[in-house]
Amino acid sequence: MLAKATACIGMVFCALLILVFVFADWRPDIGRLREGRASVQIRFFLTTLESYKADCGGYPTTAEGLDALRENPGYPGWHGPYLSEDIPADPWGHPYIYRYTGARAESPEIISYGADGKPGGRYFDTDISTWALFVPVQETPSEARVRHVRTLTFIGICAAFVGFLFLSRLSIGHAPEIRTALVLLRIVKQ
């Protein structure tokens, strides 16, 4: 009787952990989504700049900036506009910074200064640049907490499920060796 009650409690505990796992807020931090969107926009600008370069023979200067993708800066080979809409702001509402000095002739640099709109920073204030597009933004403390809760919930579900299986086998009587071990433990305790 005690084993059945314990098995029932284990099953309820397992069900509660599953509910926590399923219905918990697992959405990524909004800053992480904005960081991804900024990276996608910067890559799109790079692709568009390649079309511009193919038509005009080079990239726009720093002074011409990304506006050269919308309005002809005076080049006869310009076949734009290369963007169907105005240059968007970054996901935090700040303008993208465009630099092309020719020193790194392989490509211009497009920068989003992140959430704070200032150079440098940590977490989502980190700059997102064409020269460091694939450098991941450091995990924030809130993201680390969510990751730990997910991991611990998953471990709890697994432990509750294994415990439930163990107790259900014990209560049905399919595990005489376990019963024998428990009897021996009781004898040793006395």
pLDDT digits (tens, 9 = 90+) for 10-69: 667 667 666 666 666 666 667 677 877 888 898 889 889 898 898 888 888 888 888 888
Q: Are residues 117 and 174 in the same domain?
A: no
Residues 6+ apart with CB under 8 A from 101: 62
Total structural domains within the chain: 2
Cα–Cα distance measured from residue 143 to residue 20, given in angstroms and rounded to the nearest whole number? 17
169 in the same domain as 105? no
Query: Do residue 65 and residue 94 come from a single domain?
Result: yes
CA 47 and chain centroid, separation: 24
Single pTM value for the model: 0.59
Mean pLDDT of 77-104: 84
Per-residue model confidence (pLDDT) at position 183: 60
Q: In this structure, are 128 and 175 located in the same domain?
A: no
pLDDT of residue 95: 92
Report pLDDT digits (tens) over 61-82. 888 888 888 888 888 888 878 8
Nearest alpha-carbon partner for 47 in 65, 31, 69: 69
DSSP 108: -
Residues 121 and 44 occupy one common structural domain: yes
Q: Of 100, 118, 139, which residue constitutes the final position of a domain?
A: 139
123 and 63 fall within a common domain: yes
* Overall average pLDDT of the 93-122 stretch: 77
Q: Which stretch of 26-30, 88-92, 120-124, 170-174 has the lowest confidence by average pLDDT?
A: 170-174
Inter-residue contact 83 to 69 (CB < 8 Å):
yes
Looking at residue 175, its pLDDT comes to 53
Q: What are phi and psi of 135, to 5 degrees?
A: -90, 115
Residues 94 and 151 both lie in one domain: no
91 and 131 share one domain: yes
The set of residues, in sequence order, having a beta carbon less than 8 Å from that of 145 and lying 6+ positions away, is: none
Percent of the chain exceeding pLDDT 70 equals 57
Q: What is the pLDDT of residues 146-187, one digit of tens each?
A: 777 777 777 777 777 777 667 666 555 555 555 555 565 566
What integer pLDDT is reported at residue 152 of this predicted model? 77
* CATH code for the domain in which residue 52 is found: 3.30.700.10
The reply to whether 57 and 76 lie within a common domain is yes
What is the domain extent for residue 89?
A: 30-139
- Mean pLDDT computed over every residue of the chain: 74
Task: List the alpha helices (DSSP H) in the chain.
Answer: 2-23, 30-56, 141-172, 176-189
Give the largest CA-CA distance in the chain: 98
Cα→Cα distances 187→6, 36, 182, Å: 22, 62, 9
